[in-house]
Amino acid sequence: MTDNIRVVRLAQDYEFKSFDCGNQDLNSFLLSDSKAYAKRLLSVTYILETDEDIVAYFSVSNDKISVPDSDKATWRKIKSLFPHSKHRSDYPAVKIGRLAVNGKYRNNGIGSDILDFVKDLFITDNRTGCSFVTVDALREAIPFYQKNGFKYLDKTAIETESDTCLMYYDLTQLVD
C-alpha cells in the first residue's frame, strides 16, 4: 500500500488530487491555504502522493522554543543539553504546523516516516541552526507524537481545556 509514494515540495502550479484526513481544518488548509502560505514564505508544504491521490502532507516553518513556553523543570532539562556557555533563553526550532495522513493510508507508519524525514531534513545539510522540532499537537494525536519521541514542553498545559498541546523533539540527540 505504501509503494510508489513520492515526496514533492508544494509549488504554485501543483494540481491537487483527492485528500481526506477526516479533519476539515487540515483538509482545507491543504486545498485552500497552503499555496498562499508558501507565497508569503510563511510555511513550506511537502506532499506525499501517488498517481491517484495525496497520501499525506505536512507544513513546516521556522520556530523557537523559549522560557515562557516551558515549565521550569523541562527548561532545566533543555538547558542541560547544552554546555553552560551556550545557555540562553531561547533555542532555534522548526515547527510542524500541520501534518495529516489520508484516512485510507492511516496506521501504516507513514506519519512516523514523515517525522523521521523532518528530523533528518534539519540535521542533514541544514541551512540554519535548528536544535528542536516543535508541534502544537492535537490532543488525539499526542500518543502518536509520544511514540515518536516528542515530549511536553509545558506539562501544566495538559490540564487546560486547550485543543492542542505544545510538544518538542530534541534533534541534538541524533547528532551526538
Ligand X SMILES: CC(C)(COP(=O)(O)OP(=O)(O)OC[C@H]1O[C@@H](n2cnc3c(N)ncnc32)[C@H](O)[C@@H]1OP(=O)(O)O)[C@@H](O)C(=O)NCCC(=O)NCCS
Can you give the binding site for ligand X, defined by CB under 6 A?
A: 21-23, 26, 99-101, 106-112, 135, 137-138, 140-141, 143-144, 147
Comparison of 62 and 89: residue with beta carbon closer to ligand X = 62
Query: Cell for 146?
Result: 509520544
Instruction: List residues bridging with 64 in a β-sheet.
Output: 92
What is the SS3 assignment for 97?
strand
Residue closest to ligand X, measured at CB:
111
Comparison of 91 and 145: residue with beta carbon closer to ligand X = 145
Q: How far is the CB of 135 from ligand X (least distance, A)?
A: 6
Kindly state the DSSP code that residue 128 receives in the 8-state scheme. S
At 158, give phi and psi (nearest 5°).
-60, -30
The DSSP-derived string for 154-172 is: -GGGGGS--SEEEEEEEGG
Q: How far is the CB of 115 from ligand X (least distance, A)?
A: 8
Which are the contacts of 47, defined by CB distance < 8 A and separation ≥ 6?
Answer: 7, 8, 9, 10, 14, 30, 54, 56, 57
Q: How far is the CB of 98 from ligand X (least distance, A)?
A: 7
Comparison of 10 and 135: residue with beta carbon closer to ligand X = 135
Comparison of 60 and 99: residue with beta carbon closer to ligand X = 99
Q: How far is the CB of 24 from ligand X (least distance, A)?
A: 11
